Amino acid sequence: GAVVSQHPSWVICKSGTSVKIECRSLDFQATTMFWYRQFPKQSLMLMATSNEGSKATYEQGVEKDKFLINHASLTLSTLTVTSAHPEDSSFYICSARLAGLETQYFGPGTRLLVL
């Protein structure tokens, strides 16, 4: 099946620093990638939809200047949490969708802890 990786899997950083999370589709080309955030014991909340070569579409309430998304190629999307604060601590999950198909395949997630 389609494999999606995320790096890093864990990150601990100081408040005020920026953190970049990578999402890669390893064995397929993903025209669309999605970024989700999941709080403990809660469901996934879509943050943004990223299409290769174009600007990401952010969901209401998600600050685009805070969460920078770049989808420079068909196999890589990055999420940068700028000037991270403790309230940004969460589990961030990406997914990728094969062109022309409906199923989204999810990465293993990145746990961010901002001290």
Task: Give the footprint of other proteins on this chain (CB under 8 A).
Answer: 1, 4, 6, 32, 34, 42-44, 46, 49, 57, 91, 93, 95, 97, 102-109, 111
Owner of token pair 């770049």: 70
Collapsed DSSP state (helix, strand, coil) of residue 62: coil
The CB-of-109 to other proteins minimum distance in angstroms stands at 4
Quote the least distance from Cβ 68 to other proteins, whole Å.
20
Residue closer to other proteins, measured from CB, 4 or 84: 4
Which residue, 16 or 55, is less far from other proteins as judged by CB? 55
CB of 16 to other proteins, least distance (A): 26
Between 16 and 53, whose beta carbon lies closer to other proteins?
Answer: 53
Single out the residue of 62, 61, 60, 80 nearest to residue 70, CA to CA: 80
CA angle 92, 19, 113 (to 5 degrees): 60
To other proteins, the closest distance from the beta carbon of 76 in angstroms equals: 17
CB neighbourhood size of 4 (10 A): 23
Distance, in Å, from the CA atom of 66 to the CA atom of 84, rounded to the nearest integer, reads 8
Comparing CB distances to other proteins, the nearer of 49 and 89 is 49
Q: Quick count: other Cβ atoms within 10 Å of Cβ 95?
A: 21
